[in-house]
Copies of this chain bind each other. A is one copy, B any other.
C-alpha cells in the first residue's frame, strides 16, 4: 500500500524527536512535514534539532525543511497530510490545534490543552478505543472538516492500562497512587541538574490533577454523545526523581468485589485490546507484563519492554486493610507520549483501510 502521509508539529523538542524516530520506517506512515517554532522554521531538520535520542538520527528527514506550525504552512508542504501528530506545548496547542482541525486536518495530539473537553476523545487504544466515536459528534458540533483526538498525560496512560483489567474483573472503588517520574517527562530543559542530582522533588505542576481527572474520563462509559466518568476515587502524589526515562507508580487500590492478587495477576497478564486484535505495528504483544522478581519493575531495566509500549507490573500483593498494592512502570516518552499517540493514529489508519 501507499503509506499515509503524516506531519509532526513541534518536531524539534524531546517528544517531537520521539515521534520522528518512531515514525521512521513505519509500515503505515511516512513523515511528509515537520514543524517547529518560527525560530527554527526554514532550517533543515538536522540543523534545527539538538538530537537527544542517541545514535540513529533518522536519515530520511535529515534534510527536510522545517515549516512553521500553521495550517497554511503544512498545507503548502506539497503532500496531502492524512494525520497530524502534535507535540506542541499546551499553551500553543490550545489555539493552533483547533485551527488545524478546522482546516481539515486529523490531529492526534500529546498536548493537554483539550483533553477534558466533552466532545474530544482521550484515548488509550487498549482501554477505550470505542470513545473514538465521539469524533462524529465533535465534527458535527464544531463544524470541523478535520478532527482532534488526544493522548493522555503520561502517568495517567500508564496507570489506566493496569486499572482497566482490574476494573473489569473486580470493580474499583478507590486508588491512591504515588509516582516516581523521570526527568524526560518535563522535556529536555525542564529539570535542571542542580535541582535533581542527589535529590527528589515531591511536586510536579498540575500532574496530580491530570491523573485524578483524566483517569475517570478514560475509564468512563460512552453514553450517546458524551462520556460518563467512572465512579472511582483517584488520589495522587507525584514526585520527580533522578531517572532519565520511565515513570514508576506505587499503587494502593480498593476493589469493589473481593479479589485475590492471583486473580488480578491473571487479569493483567491476559489483558488485550483492539491494537492487539488488529495486530497494529506499535501494539505490544502484552500491553501489561507482570514480573515475579521481588525487586521489579525498575526504570532502567524494564522501560524498553514491548519497545516501550508495554507497562510492567510487579510486587502485586494485598495490604492488611484489604487494599491491593502493586508497582507499575511505563516508558513515559513512548507509551506515555509519542508511542501511544501513534498507536491512536494506527487505529484510525486501520479503520480507513477497512472502509
Contact = CB atoms under 8 A, between A and B. Distances in A.
B200 A243 contact: yes
A243 B178 contact: no
A192 B203 contact: no
A130 interface: no
A187 to B, nearest CB: 8
B183 A299 contact: no
Contacts of A235: 252, 319-321, 323, 325
A321 B253 CA distance: 13
A67 to B, nearest CB: 25
Copies of this polypeptide in the complex: 4
Contacts of A190: 192
Q: For A54, A55, A174, A203, which residue has the most chain B Cβ atoms within 10 angstroms?
A: A55
A353 interface: no
B244 A239 contact: no
Interface stretch (A83-91, A290-298, A334-342): A290-298
B202 A298 contact: yes
B200 A298 contact: yes
Contacts of A233: 319-321
Contacts of A183: 193-194, 197
A103 interface: no
Which range holds the interface residue count of chain A? 35 or more
B194 A297 contact: no
B193 A242 contact: yes
Interface hub of A198, A243, A327 (most chain B Cβ within 10 A): A198
A199 B301 contact: yes
A305 interface: yes
B244 A197 contact: yes
B202 A252 contact: no
A193 B197 contact: yes
Interface in A236-285: 237, 239, 241-244, 248, 250, 252
Between A199, A302, A305, A315, the greatest number of chain B beta carbons within 10 A of the residue's beta carbon is seen for A199
A302 B55 contact: yes
A244 B319 contact: no
A195 interface: yes
A300 interface: yes
Contacts of A299: 198-200
A49 interface: no
Given A183-B197, A304-B55, A297 B191 contact: no
Interface of A: 14, 52, 54-55, 174, 176, 178, 180, 183-184, 188-203, 212, 233, 235, 237, 239, 241-244, 248, 250, 252, 294-302, 304-305, 314-315, 319-321, 323, 325, 327
